[in-house]
Amino acid sequence: MKVLLLNGSPKARGNTAYALSQMAEVFAAEGVETEILQVGNQPIRGCIACGSCRKTGKCVFDDVVNQAAEAFREADGLVAASPVYYASANATLVAFLDRLFYSTGFDKRMKVGASVVVARRGGCSATFDELNKYFTISGMPVASSHYWNSVHGRAPGEAAQDLEGIATVRNLAKNMTFLMKSIALGKA
């Protein structure tokens, strides 16, 4: 089993990265391989709906989106994590996800999706909803935890103090593992 974790924060070692590291720790204990891809600090432009990807099987802009496409194809699960900006995900992550989901023609059904959002205080539920829509439009089951997948913290290191948020994302990784394994058994 393999999960691709996307860090949509421009800060490679910030609170979003910390939340993902907590998930990766749980995945490792469950025997699930992970790859964390730093997306939020990349120069990623938005989709221009040129349709080139339908002919070539990849996005016309040859950047990290095309590089991530194969990892996404091979993954059993995808976690999209973002800081919250004005009750929305980081625009770079949104551009990445728009292009990744649009340009990849492979079947995404039964790949497990999960979103994680990190904010100082508010905007988490709107961002959580925004990210989950990529999964639901693609037929991907969405993993859940015992609360919405949000962690609170603004300054670097504050996320580690949100014990409830960290417990939520750790539980999310456990639930995601169970769901991926269950789907694999069902396919077998």
pLDDT in tens, 55-102: 999 999 999 999 999 999 999 999 999 999 999 999 999 999 999 999
Q: Which contiguous run of DSSP H or E holds residue 188?
A: none
CA-only gyration radius of the chain, Å: 16
Determine the Cα–Cα distance for residues 102 and 83; give it in Å rounded to an integer.
23
pLDDT at 89: 98
Q: Which contiguous run of DSSP H or E holds residue 25?
A: helix 15-29
| Tokens read off for 21 | 């590291």
pLDDT in tens, 10-43: 999 999 999 999 999 999 999 999 999 999 999 9
Could you count the other beta carbons within 10 Å of the beta carbon of residue 187? Answer: 7
What is the average pLDDT across 110-118?
Answer: 98
Tell the burial category of 14 from Cβ atoms under 10 Å away from its Cβ (0-12, 13-18, 19+): buried
Could you give the percent of the chain with pLDDT greater than 70? 100
Say if residues 120 and 153 touch (Cβ distance below 8 Å): yes
What is the average pLDDT across 148-166?
Answer: 96
pTM here is 0.97
